[in-house]
Structure 1
């Protein structure tokens, strides 16, 4: 039973609903951890005994048994101090933000590549205005070859090479601006 402090009127402990919400949050964190790859797991600040439990839970494929094992993992995780769980959550959020930045960078590269293939010299002039160190002749040749490949339904060798060149160019600018 919860009880109340007679002087302040505050409850002594969290309500059952609040305890349930906290338990579900830990359960969902456990589900996310089980879904990660081994390399992603090793980057997170997870204690060794929890890593062993996560690996064990991953091996179970039966739906009901897996859910039961996830509940067991959540029970073990609830025994951990809150700082450990917060550190894991923060690391997961950081990884998610990093993935969003990388995806946005790839979309920028793809947009430039598509513009170079479609618009030709006009798009190249805009790109060179922003990146004067770029090799004009090489980029123009790759864009022309990519356009030819597309028209002739050939394999996209120049198209991919143009992507690689643009990615390197834009990454140089990002690392140079930091």
Structure 2
């Protein structure tokens, strides 16, 4: 046996691990919604197999076989662009969650600190209407004091999101 041939030989264990990794990647693809799948570069065969897996998701054994088939199709695909697209989707989700939490914190700060916080926000973001912010904060505090549902707090959050998302988008 030549020394070059030894490098070309891949063990059965390694083949099995690679196959399982591709099958897991296929399962991640199946877990995505159709709108998320549009952003991922897939061959027609793989795309069709994933659509079929969505249809048979309530039949355990059939889904298992379909996932194996998707794993088999994945062997003829380049997994790197697919993994990169999945990472982008994951990061977008994490970024959206972070932005959501930041808006919640800003809303809570406005409600607890009142005019002081509104002035700071107006300095950073002059596109807000001071009067509307003050009105929503005042209403939110009244609702909280009266043990009423936080309708104004929700409206304040929506207003913050509207202006902040328009600024970014």
TM-score above 0.5, yes or no = yes
Query: Of 141, 153, 166, which residue of structure 1 is paired with 2:147?
Result: 153
TM-score normalised according to structure 2 size: 0.87
Deviation at 1:5, TM superposition (A): 3.5
Q: What residue in structure 2 maps to residue 13 of structure 1?
A: 9
Deviation at 1:144, TM superposition (A): 0.8
Q: What residue in structure 2 maps to residue 45 of structure 1?
A: 41
Deviation at 1:54, TM superposition (A): 0.9
CA distance, structure 1, for counterparts of residue 162 and residue 55 of structure 2: 40
Deviation at 1:92, TM superposition (A): 0.9
Q: Deviations over 1:26-78 (max 9, x none)?
A: 11111111111111112221122211111212222232332122112111221
Kindly report the root-mean-square deviation, in angstroms, between the aligned alpha carbons of the 2 structures: 2.0
TM-score normalised according to structure 1 size: 0.83
1:59-138 correspondence runs (5 A):
59-60=55-56, 61-78=58-75, 80-82=76-78, 85-138=79-132
Deviation at 1:86, TM superposition (A): 1.6
CA distance, structure 2, for counterparts of residue 168 and residue 134 of structure 1: 10
Q: Any stretches of 5+ residues in structure 2 without a counterpart?
A: none
CA distance, structure 2, for counterparts of residue 129 and residue 114 of structure 1: 18
Q: Any stretches of 5+ residues in structure 1 without a counterpart?
A: none
Q: Report which structure shows greater RCO (CA 8 Å, sep ≥6).
A: 2
Deviation at 1:9, TM superposition (A): 8.0
The count of residues paired between Structure 1 and Structure 2 equals: 168
